[in-house]
Amino acid sequence: MAIEEPKYFVIENAPPFELRVYESSIVAEVKVDGDMDSASSQGFRLLAAYIFGKNRINEKIAMTAPVGFEGKSTTIAMTAPVGIESNQGISTVWFVMPSQYTLESLPQALDQRVQLREVPATKKAVIMFSGFYSEEKVKEKTAELERWIQEKNLQAIGLPNFARYNPPWTLPFLRRNEVMIEVRDR
């Protein structure tokens, strides 16, 4: 069974980079503390509990991909701060909700740390890579993406987001990882 991903279309494809326009979506997100691994793990558990039925009506919600991570700005530097939403060392972990839901039709989480919000349509620059990830590798890919954004004469308007698309048992060479940054034309 295929896992739903956010809907987008590609404006430019220059591997390993893409410029994409994403449709609006709804995300469930939590704010957590800790380094990339511990914050990501803690956030994933809280969001998984929500979609597996820890909500007001015990409704199970289909899993989507990717799992998104916005880390501490001190961890991934950016000139004009994805996924790395900094607020005193707090990181944000998010899941995109299946497209058949609206904010009104999604069940309310029992855990108040799980918040739902609508994300408007947006343009993002993306760098794709496979294999295992680490904070250092994400920093390296973020720097590559920032250089590409400058070469394309785009302006970053958001924080870098790190996105993982595969379960942990996926072989490294088959893993899909991305760093994405919201951009606009200069």
The model's pTM? 0.86
Is the Cβ–Cβ distance between 41 and 118 less than 8 Å? no
Q: State which of 10-19, 78-87, 133-142 shows the largest mean pLDDT.
A: 10-19
Q: Is the pLDDT of residue 36 over 50?
A: yes
Token pair, residue 46, equals 């809280």
Q: Is the pLDDT of residue 86 over 90?
A: no
Q: Is the pLDDT of residue 77 over 50?
A: no
Token pair, residue 134, equals 């680490």
Q: Is the pLDDT of residue 144 over 50?
A: yes
Percent of the chain beyond pLDDT 90? 76
For residue 70, count other CB atoms closer than 10 A to its CB: 27
Instruction: Answer positive or negative: Cα dihedral of 91, 2, 48, 133.
Output: negative
Q: What is the mean pLDDT of residues 80-102?
A: 70
For residue 59, count other CB atoms closer than 10 A to its CB: 13
In the chain, the DSSP E strands lie at 8-14, 17-22, 25-33, 67-70, 90-96, 115-119, 122-129, 154-156, 161-164, 177-185
Place of tokens 């994933």: 44
* Averaged pLDDT score across all residues of the chain: 89
In this structure, CATH architecture of domain 8-185:
Alpha-Beta Barrel (3.20)
Mean pLDDT check: name the lowest of 41-55, 85-99, 133-147.
Answer: 85-99
* Domain spans in the chain, listed from the N-terminal domain onward: 8-185
At 90, the pLDDT band (50, 70, 90 cuts) reads confident
Look at phi and psi of residue 68 and say left if phi exceeds 0, alpha if psi is from -120 to 50, else beta. Answer: beta
Residues 6+ apart with CB under 8 A from 170: none
Q: What is the mean pLDDT of residues 110-126?
A: 97
